Structure 1
Amino acid sequence: MADILDLDAEVVAEHTADLIRWLPVDRPRQVVDLGCGTGAGTFALLAEFPEAHVTAVDTDVDHLRRLRDKACELGLADRVTTVQADLDTTWPDLGTPDLVWASASMHHMADPARALRQVHDVLAPGGLFAVVELAGFPRFLGTDLEDRIHAASDRRHADLVPHRGADWGPKLTAAGFTVEAERTLAIHLPQSEVVGRYALAGLRRMRGTVDDVLSAEDLAAFDDLLDPHSPTGLLHRTDLAVRTERSVWAARKA
């Protein structure tokens, strides 16, 4: 998963930066990245806000290790603090941030309403909470087979991540925030070397979730797509592209 997160960060880097520039926030000094993964949001936030210090929070020790290593490589170690925590249990001390960024992480919370209230409690008065949500896993081909693969994977994950793709606006309002702005960004990136690696890694991960759901014919066609040596495989498709959407809600604490 860490490799996929790194590839995702590389592929959509410009779009992530665009979303951060769009936020109605002025030079935050203390920023928290909730569910930071390997640091896509953390490093984009550091680049956009050169005076900020980012506290990066995640449950996964390997993700945080990768993030720290990259921060050291970039000479940013003094501007990043990593915190390993399970936010479904006891929240760590996150200070009083001016900005909290949560990209594709809120839908993983067992009790999102509780997590939203926790963020409201820790934010500085007038602070901003940015929630970014994905429209499911990206599409790469737009074929009927890919539709069936996604449908099968979505059914498998429905109980595990029931809040994925939720409308966070009403949930933020219920937690005491004022939603100041919303935006949905359509992403369509043409074939490239990194797009090919991203698609192959992502679909390989999905393969294990549909093994006992798809028909034998679909599984054979799926395996052919994942074969880097097949002339009809994913890496040789001229129609390969990244197609997805990311939505963001910018919510203010009064």
Structure 2
Amino acid sequence: MTQHRNDQHPHHHKQPKKHQKHHDHQADRHDHEAGLADRLDLDAEVLGPLLDEVTDWVRGRTTATPRAIVDVGAGTGTGTAALARRFPEARLVAVDRSPVMLDRVAATARAQGLAERLRVIPADLDVAWPEIGAVDLAWLASSLHHAQDPDRLLRDLHGALRPGGLLVVVEMDGMPHFLPDDLGIGRPGLEARGKEAMARARWNAYPNWRPHLERAGFAEVTERTFTFDLHPAPPAAHRYAHGVLSTLRHGLADHLAADDLDTLDRLLAADAPESVLHRDDLIVRGSRIAWAARRP
């Protein structure tokens, strides 16, 4: 998009308010999506081995080597890249409605030598399923619960899969755990209270997807929980924890007590000795839940 500078058009000293508000909204949305993309990339950097474990499980569930794979709600493409590594003969399609995310997917593909095997498709899946052709494997990581009508999306995916094809849904099992119960500051149990507040606010809430998959026509539904416990935490975990706890601090300000918010502020202050950016007692612990289901 071409940018218009006021010094190039001196007769336009001020944009109309309506246009300015639209421009500001677009800029805010771009910044928000860029920040989310950074956190997704950090998640993949810290939890790469877990992603490899999940895709290895997926390979064990396939009845034939997939020729075509779709990553639904691809985000920055970390799942796309992991699937490309696991299935080196497959061609891949990454679908997302965010141009920011799809730009990251394309950049990841170029950096990893996958560009020739990948198509990126901009699409709002709440409107319609895009024409991408038949696929053998559909992957939805932390994306199905964002759909306005997940049952309709699952029916669309059932129709897009070849007979015998596999659909995999992956969800986060709550916020990762980074800190000891007693931080040395504030009341013990901060993260537990944060997780309870997230549940009350229904952040990333999702159901057991098994009955939804079965209603959409899928069979052989299998569920598995994948756990991770990184101790000591890898170096990138400090920035990862800072991003997750920042989201907690700003998104749940009305759901946490004032002293917990003060503690979070100290944990997030870059120059504070107790900051998560500097702590040597950081861990990364949590789990993911995955469902695999086959189109008969």
Q: TM-score, normalised by structure 2?
A: 0.81
**Runs (5+) with no aligned partner, structure 2:** 1-35, 182-188
Compute the displacement of 1:117 (Å): 0.9
1:19 partnered with 2:54: yes
Deviation by residue 1:4-47 (Cα, 9 ceiling, x = unmatched): 00001111111111111112113201000001100111000100
Q: 1:21 to 1:162 in 2, by over 3 A?
A: closer
Number of the residue aligned with 1:125: 163
Deviation by residue 1:47-80 (Cα, 9 ceiling, x = unmatched): 0111111100112110100110121222211111
Compute the displacement of 1:82 (Å): 0.6
Number of the residue aligned with 2:216: 175
Identity %: 43
Compute the displacement of 1:180 (Å): 4.3
Q: 1:110 to 1:161 in 2, by over 3 A?
A: farther
Compute the displacement of 1:112 (Å): 1.1
CA distance in 1, matches of 2:175, 2:92: 27
Compute the displacement of 1:189 (Å): 1.2
Higher relative contact order (CA 8 A, sep 6+): 1
Compute the displacement of 1:142 (Å): 5.0
Any residues of structure 2 matched to 1:129-144 within 5 Å, and which?
129-143=167-181, 144=189
Deviation by residue 1:85-109 (Cα, 9 ceiling, x = unmatched): 1111111112100000111111111
CA distance in 1, matches of 2:257, 2:172: 28
1:225 partnered with 2:267: yes
1:210 partnered with 2:252: yes
Contact 1:34 1:100 in 2 (8 A): yes
1:78 partnered with 2:113: no
Comparing 35-44 and 223-232, the one that deviates more: 223-232
51, 54, 70: which one aligns with 1:32? 70
Count how many residue pairs are aligned between Structure 1 and Structure 2. 250
CA distance in 2, matches of 1:59, 1:141: 34
Number of the residue aligned with 2:234: 192
**Structure with bigger gyration radius:** 2
Compute the displacement of 1:161 (Å): 4.6
CA distance in 2, matches of 1:128, 1:50: 17
CA distance in 1, matches of 2:80, 2:65: 15
1:247 partnered with 2:285: no
Number of the residue aligned with 1:97: 135
Compute the displacement of 1:229 (Å): 1.9
1:9 partnered with 2:9: no
Contact 1:172 1:179 in 2 (8 A): no
Number of the residue aligned with 2:3: none
